[in-house]
Structure formats: structure tokens, C-alpha cells
Copies of this chain bind each other. A is one copy, B any other.
Amino acid sequence: MTESATLERILPGTATAAVRERKRGIDRVIILLEALFRQRAPMRVGDIARLIGAPRSTTYEIVNRLLEADMLETVGTDGHVYFGRAMHLFGWAYSHHNAHYPRIIETLDRLAAESGETVQLCSLRGNKYVVLDCRDSAGPFRISSQVGVEVPIPWTASGRLLLSHMDDDAVRAFIPPEDYRLPDGRMLPQDEFLAAIALARQQGYSESAALADRFTWCLAAPILDGRGAMTLTLCFVLPVDTPEARRIELLALLRERAASLDLVGN
């Protein structure tokens, strides 16, 4: 008491500077899992604690409970932990809840095998675009993509399709302003983006060149769910110098396969 009072007098603001507010276990868990996912590699408990700003003792407590539940598992011998088997099963349950998911994956596989190109299954997560699964091209200059990394929607061809159920105002409210800034620094005019969405809606597909990066040409086609909404897209990620004839051929293939997966009209 005297001690802390003295400390406060000597170092004014220390107490408030170290405002590490108490948090619920459930919140810690969510933050922890998200952090582990972003890291994409096993971590030690101490590092996790530092990364998520949680007390070490709390972090040990939570990690140990999650280990028990198989949601995490130890990796190697020096205290690294990563996602566990339960996560695999829960994720599997999520995917396969849609009874048509196996068909979608089969289509993904076949498109990749037949074309030799990179193919992605895409969707939204909140107001960001994510790749749910992908098959990377086998070529020497492979274009690969990370599953689960969140990307601003305006950077993507699929994003234009996935927003096509929204009107202009909804889109304006949905997309954070900074997401219009492309990776190369250019700002994508909002009107242009809205027009691209309208075009995608009308055409039933979307195409974009050198958007997220200078090297890729993306083709995207929607998979309609039972209510006719576009919640998933299939997407080719091609080298930007792919000949036009080939692109047209692949687009036709993509649209045909995607349409065959639609759940409306069976």
C-alpha cells in the first residue's frame, strides 16, 4: 500500500500506463486462436502471452485447457503449440454441413487437374475476402495463394460477384474507405468499383487484370446457394500474359462448372 503509493508518486501514470484490463477467458480464447492463425506456425506459450497481451499465468491456464480439449496440440518437444485435431473436425463439420461441399471440392480438383492452373474457392468473412480452399498450379512459376488470409474486397474479381446482391448504398456502407487503396498505392475510384459490381451482376462472372498484383489475371464465377445468393465463387488465378484465346476457353469452363454446382433449380 505504502509501496504502491510511493511508486505512484515517483512514477506518475505507471498504474494507468500499464492498463492491462482484465478480460474474460472466452475473449482470451478467441484472441489467442485468431493470433495463432495469423502466425500460421506453432508458438510457445510465452510468445503467445506477449503477442496477445495477456498475463503469462492466464495464458498457461487457457492453453492447458485448450490442449485438454484437443483444440490445441503440442508440436515438437520445446513447448510449441498449434491447432489440434478437434479444430480439424469442427472445420470439417462446417464445410460438410452444406451437403454439396464434396461436389464443390471435386469440381475444384477437376478444374485444377484439367487446366493445370491455380483454382480457388472464395467467399467473404465479415467485410473481407478470403480464400476457403485452393489448388495451386503445378507449373514452374506457380502462383499460389494462402487460404484464410483476409484481403480487401475491392482487390479481387470474386469480390465483385460476392457483393452483387447489394445495392450501391449498401456497398458504400460495407467497404471501409481504406480498402479502396490497392497494393500498389493507387486508389480505386468508388464509382468504378460500383460499376464493376453492376457489370459482374449482369454478366454472371467477373474478370480482373493486375488488380491485387501486377502478375495475375483473375476469372471468377459464382456458385448460387439454395436461395439464389452468391456466397461462394470459383476463381482461376492466371499469369497475366495468358493468351486471350486460352482465357476465353478457361472462362467458359469455369462458368459451366460453377453453374453445375448451383443449388437453385438443382
A residues within 8 Å of B by Cβ?
10-11, 24-30, 33-34, 36-37, 40-42, 62, 65-66, 68-71, 75, 82-97, 109, 123, 125-126, 130, 132-133, 147-148
Q: Is the CB of B85 within 8 A of A97?
A: no
Q: Is the CB of B70 within 8 A of A125?
A: yes
Q: Interface SS of chain A: helix, strand, loop or mixed?
A: helix
Q: How far is it, in angstroms, between the C-alpha of A37 and the C-alpha of B93 when the chains are bound?
A: 7
- Report copies per complex: 2
Q: Is the CB of A132 within 8 A of B88?
A: yes
Provide 29 A-B residue pairs closer than 8 Å at the C-beta atoms, listed in order of the A residue: A25-B26, A26-B28, A26-B29, A26-B62, A26-B65, A30-B66, A33-B86, A36-B93, A37-B89, A40-B93, A70-B126, A83-B90, A83-B93, A83-B94, A85-B94, A85-B132, A86-B125, A87-B90, A87-B93, A87-B94, A88-B94, A88-B132, A90-B90, A90-B91, A91-B92, A92-B133, A92-B147, A93-B148, A109-B109
Contacts of A132 in B (CB 8 A): 85, 88-89
5 shortest A-B CB distances, which residue pairs? A91-B91, A83-B94, A25-B26, A89-B148, A87-B90
Residue in A10, A65, A92, A97 whose Cβ sees the most chain B Cβ within 10 Å? A92
Contacts of A94 in B (CB 8 A): 82-85, 87-88, 91
Q: Is the CB of A27 within 8 A of B65?
A: yes
